[in-house]
Structure 1
Amino acid sequence: MTSVPERCEQVVRAQLAAHAELHPAADQLARTDDLYDHGLTSLASARIMLAVEGELGIEFPERLLGKALFSSIGRLTDACAELVDARSGSVTRGVAS
């Protein structure tokens, strides 16, 4: 069974691959690599946000929305995992905003 963080990272990487022209590709980037340094645009980040929300059944709160959320796969994945956990009533880890 896939854990929530693993599932979230799979979704994030898939949506990055679908909506952003990153160099190198999303599946080759580390969790801490700066996505903007690898080609992420604000338009792509908006598309990714909507796709991730739809696929995981979550909604990013306004307090998280900003460039920092999309700065790395790790930050985006951690935020998604917290929101999925909160939706299901699980104990969550803190998300730095």
Structure 2
Amino acid sequence: MDNQETLVQRAVINEPMFDSKTGEFGKGYSPDYGQTFIVQESVKGRIYHQETDAGRIGELIFDKLIFRSDDGTLWELSVNNDGKPQTKKIEKSEEKEKES
């Protein structure tokens, strides 16, 4: 292989960047040498991504989860002491509190 065929590839790990999907700023990595960026740490703390961190998310214990339905409604999911699922619709006023 001569020098003209050599591609310069640089590992992008734990560097400041904007997330390609969300636009959020923080420290993260690029799995494809700078084509896309995935932020893992922001001023809000650790960020987990469903596509790449499923194994890590599965090990965590949560008191509740918040889901967004297709129409944009937020739902809180938890369990009672008997282990039965409980859902609660998050009203607009509560949604603003959760974002801050």
TM-score, normalising length: structure 1: 0.23
- RCO higher in structure (CA 8 A, sep ≥6): 1
Higher share in helix: 1
Structure whose CA Rg is larger: 2
Higher share in strand: 2
TM-score, normalising length: structure 2: 0.22
